[in-house]
Amino acid sequence: NPFLQFEDVKEFTDYALNTAPPVPTYYPRMKKINAKGPEIIGNLPRVPGLPPKAFKEAVAEKKNVLIDTRTMLGFGGGHIPGALNIGGSPMLSIWAGWLLDPAKPILIVLEKDSQLESIVKYFIRTGYTNFAGYLVGGMKAWDNAGFEIDRVPQMSVHDVKAARGKLQIFDVRSPDEWKEGHIPGAHHLFLPEIREKAAKFSKKKPTAVYCDSGYRASLATSMLKQEGFTDVRNVPGSWQAWKKAGYKVEGKIKK
């Protein structure tokens, strides 16, 4: 344990502060909520079911934020323009906390309507209780209504390797993950910092985004599209697939 190597308090403190991971932006907010005591909501918040036309009108209202909770492949195959892809797993709680404004009502796209309760519980874990509605019937209903859809192409690690010289490659993992090894030539854009750091890169150049497995990368592609990037691709399997393919890496690699 590297924390046990210090006898001097100041050296220990300096080491702890310098090696600490980034602090999630929702920690200060949750600290206040926990100190005061969370709001007693009794039953789960009511989330109105909206048919496609009403949902489309709600999406157009700038006060709402649109979250697509489907898998990366489902999202990539077709989604409502402007949606953020925060997949419906326990990780949703963390990334909603990092990235969403708790004052904005949330619009939800589900894989299946039956998932609504579990998805709402993930949001509640980091203090989100304000919902504008969910899309009844999901993307199938949206498609059948003839409304516009957007897509995110999926790019294998083999395709990334073959086209690496023509691509802008973003690694959106944490700083520690990046240091442990990354794809040669990639740029490190830690996911929560994308909006502030992506502006220095070309928005027109073909861009491939990877993380450890693809979950965070899909979220990152949806953020980049909101920032005006016109040609972004998600890399399913991401870093794990790259390593298993035996391709060259940079940085320190864990044995």
The fold of the 157-244 domain, in CATH, is Oxidized Rhodanese; domain 1 (3.40.250)
Q: Residue 212 contacts by C-beta under 8 Å, 6 or more apart in sequence? A: 173, 177, 238, 239, 240
Domains in the chain: boundaries: 49-144, 157-244
Lowest mean pLDDT among 16-25, 60-69, 125-134, 213-222: 16-25
Query: What's this model's pTM, rounded to 2 decimal places?
Result: 0.86
Tens of pLDDT, residue by residue over 127-174, are: 899 999 999 999 999 999 999 999 999 999 999 999 999 999 999 999
- Contact assessment for residue 126 and residue 30, using Cβ atoms and an 8 Å cutoff: yes
d(CA 9, CA 153): 51
Whether the domain at 49-144 and the domain at 157-244 fall into the same CATH topology: yes
pLDDT in the model for residue 189: 96
The fold of the 49-144 domain, in CATH, is Oxidized Rhodanese; domain 1 (3.40.250)
Q: What is the mean pLDDT of the chain?
A: 89
